[in-house]
Structure 1
Amino acid sequence: MKKLNELFNDKEKKKLKPLIFLSCICILGLIAIYLMPQNKKQTDVSTDVKVQNLTEEKVKEDLESKLTKILSKINKAGDVDVMITFESSEEIVPAYNSNITTETTKEQDSSGGERTTTSSTENKTMITSNSNEPVVLKTSEAKIKGVIVVASGASDPTVKELLYDAVKTSLQISGHQVEIYEK
């Protein structure tokens, strides 16, 4: 390979140094811009997921606690433990104001050709209340996959049937989703 001195004369070298320096700065700037938003997005998403998981876990624990409390009040049920598994989490659908703008442009060139361009933009804004809380259109409850109840009184078929019916009624689920076991 030829050396740099052989390829360029002194005048060309003087022009080349600032270009190389500027290129390096641009490349470093692009790398920094690319990395900064990506890290922020990942942090925001992981924080949102953690908050959502904590909320879902609290809802699950509250429901299990309430069910345990009510089932233990059934005559001869004894000590009761409950576990609930969910198929899906709660879904909240907020209200939005939506504004759709459509613009059509027709152009003709000198040879008689015609071109039509249509562009459409949609602007969605979440509707909030006076306290800046989103207005909710619909809330879908978390879907229960199954329930296990372990009770010391479940050896008695009558108590087992009462526990079984109480779980189905309180959670509004099918019988195949409920299992009652003896402690």
Structure 2
Amino acid sequence: MGFFKQVITEKITLAVILLVIVAAILIFTSQEDQSAASVQLPAETVTAVPENESGFTALEKQLEEKLAANLEKIQGVGKTKVLVTLTSDVKKQYARDESVTKKTSKETDKDGGTRETEEVTQNNKIVVVGENALIITEERPQVTGVLVIAQGASDPKIKEQVFEAVRTLLNIEPAKISVVPMGGV
């Protein structure tokens, strides 16, 4: 009985070792497949379309709030209201997996005539890693205009300081900036 127990134990141990080796091989080969899929390059620029434009307006709001907070720190400016317009939403460039397959066949009929057919199959998919598309580059929108309404803008020196601050912070040309004094109410 001891002999049979030893043989069975050895067989179980051997089976466990084989299972561990097979599992390790499966893990390594699946990781190679994933890394190969994520290296695909040719890319195409796609504009991200927000579900309800909240992404676009949120970006404008964030810029307006930061700009207003910075301008209000300038001595003499007082309370401000800032409006910013942007060209578009963020543009993203996604990695694409592109492949083209050509298959050519020649056929000869019984009368001696030949016919050549060519079949082309194109595949163009966005590379996905996990559940997210692989982004190569992301381009922020350009500022098309800034309106600053400031309490202290009736003073020409303050108005010039606000103007220069906006021009410097956003790196935009002067024609896109308007600074006006805040009205009463």
TM-score, length basis structure 1:
0.66
Aligned-partner Cα distance in 1 for 2:56–2:66: 15
Aligned to 1:73, the other structure's residue is in SS state: coil
Contact 2:102–2:120, Cα closer than 8 Å, also in 1: yes
Aligned to 2:110, the other structure's residue is in SS state: coil
How far 1:77 moved relative to its partner? Answer: 0.8
Give the unaligned 5+ runs of structure 1.
1-47
How far 1:55 moved relative to its partner? Answer: 1.2
How far 1:75 moved relative to its partner? Answer: 1.3
Contact 2:55–2:89, Cα closer than 8 Å, also in 1: no
Runs of 4+ in 1 over 6 A off after TM superposition: none
The residue aligned with 2:72 is: 72
RMSD: 2.0
Aligned-partner Cα distance in 1 for 2:161–2:115: 74
The residue aligned with 1:16 is: none
Say whether residues 1:111 and 2:111 are aligned partners.
yes
Letter in 1 for 2:109: D
Say whether residues 1:155 and 2:180 are aligned partners.
no
Contact 1:89–1:143, Cα closer than 8 Å, also in 2: no
The residue aligned with 2:96 is: 96
Aligned to 1:153, the other structure's residue is in SS state: helix
Give the unaligned 5+ runs of structure 2.
1-47
Say whether residues 1:140 and 2:139 are aligned partners.
yes
Identity of aligned residues (%): 30
Contact 1:90–1:143, Cα closer than 8 Å, also in 2: no
The residue aligned with 2:173 is: 174
Q: 1:181 to 1:103 in 2, by over 3 A?
A: same
How far 1:57 moved relative to its partner? Answer: 1.3
TM-score, length basis structure 2:
0.66
Aligned to 1:161, the other structure's residue is in SS state: helix
How far 1:118 moved relative to its partner? Answer: 2.0
Deviations 1:110-150 (A, max 9, x none): 333333222222223322335x3222111111122111000
Aligned-partner Cα distance in 2 for 1:87–1:176: 16
